[in-house]
Amino acid sequence: MVCIAERRHPREPDALETSGARLLRRWEAAGLPTVFVERDLALQRAGSAGAGETSLRAEAPSLLRDAGFLRLFEGLGGPLLILLGDALGDLALETAIDGFLAGHPIIVVKDAAPFPQGAAEESAAARAAALPLLSCFARLMGAEELAREWTGVD
């Protein structure tokens, strides 16, 4: 699973963030790998990555055009890519398009975010606008459905 953090604002988590945190805990408990990607931010998790976690900074408009990410993705065994993002912005969309064109199955978690996102109304509007386009290039799944299917935990 790839968690894309477009920005961070410390505040109380909303429903998307609570769902994202629950999914990440289940994912980690199942021993599945997680990659945290940040754009335009200093890496805040680099020193604190846990077992099965890696952090990197995206240098390209798509993760699948980023040499560092590609090496990591190949090392993890690809070809499936699961995207979980704050606002499901350009990085998620361009990665989903590139994955679709390259024949990589892509799953986008539609109802969870990994980190606090800022103004809830702004984030909800951005997510709602992105989902129809993302659904053209990726399978959309809910956090609970993904957790049940991949971690075996209800």
- Which strands sit side by side in the sheet containing 106-109, from one edge to the other? 53-57, 34-38, 2-5, 81-85, 106-109, 139-141
Identify the burial level of 90 via C-beta atoms within 10 angstroms of its C-beta, where 0-12 means exposed, 13-18 middle and 19 or more buried. middle
Q: How far is CA 67 from the centre of its chain?
A: 18
Neighbours of 126 (CB within 10 A): 18
Q: What angle do CA 59, 22, 19 make, to 5 degrees?
A: 80
Report how far residue 105's alpha carbon sits from residue 11's, in angstroms, rounded to the nearest whole number.
34
pLDDT value of residue 43 = 39
Q: Digits of tens for pLDDT over the chain (154 positions)?
A: 777 765 554 556 677 778 888 888 888 888 888 887 765 543 343 344 444 556 666 667 888 888 888 888 888 887 888 888 766 778 888 899 999 999 999 998 888 876 655 555 666 677 778 889 999 999 999 889 988 888 876 5
Give the helix/strand (H/E) hosting 56.
Answer: strand 53-57
pTM greater than 0.85: no
pLDDT value of residue 18 = 82
